[in-house]
Structure 1
Amino acid sequence: MSQDEAARIHNLPAIRALGDALVDDIDGTSPVSHLEEASGFPANMRMGTWALGVLGWPLANEHDKIVGYAENKVNSTIEGLRAHRDRLHTVADNVQTADQRNEDHVRRI
């Protein structure tokens, strides 16, 4: 199988570009760029421990826990998307290696 035929079966640049589109901020439209922008929002939502007074302390405390959970979720999603990009690049590399090894094997036969 020639390289052109392999390219038709597996569009490796498209696989890599899909991963890059998740993370790379070329024009501010990647999911990661939006999440990084949103990651600053929860910190601005925090209430002080005594913001609602003594009787409102349990509510303020729970509110801050929820805000912390939101911060963690946004950050873990960003890291997950970056890891997904790396996996897509690995898939493209693995397909390229497998195609090359198959081609080399066929030539030996």
Structure 2
Amino acid sequence: MEVFYERGCKLFFKKHKNEQKLIKKLIEQAIVKELATGMSKVKVAAPTRIEGKAIYEFRLNLKTAGSARIAFAVKNEQVLVLLITSNLQKDSFSRELETSLKGSNYTFNSRSTTPE
């Protein structure tokens, strides 16, 4: 499974620069686990779709980086992580996600880059 981190993750990674590898590992493990177990902790995050695929979100404890909400979409063997935020309140998270999605043309076939 390939996991790509979009620009909505950049600010979170910048804030937790020293923990970036651990954060990515935890997110990837959690997404793989959720996909394998029927996504019981996952909810639809926004009415917007990417290439017809729903955008999902869930909360995750990222150890020393604290709890975060992760928004992602899945198609075949590709995962696009669209947003990582420490904003845990659902309504403000949804607004932040919608702002992040506005004007963006995310695709699964693009070679997304990991923010540094």
The answer to which structure has the higher strand fraction is 2
Fold shared by both chains (TM-score > 0.5): no
Query: Normalized against structure 1, the TM-score is what?
Result: 0.26
Judging by fraction of residues, say which structure has more helix: 1
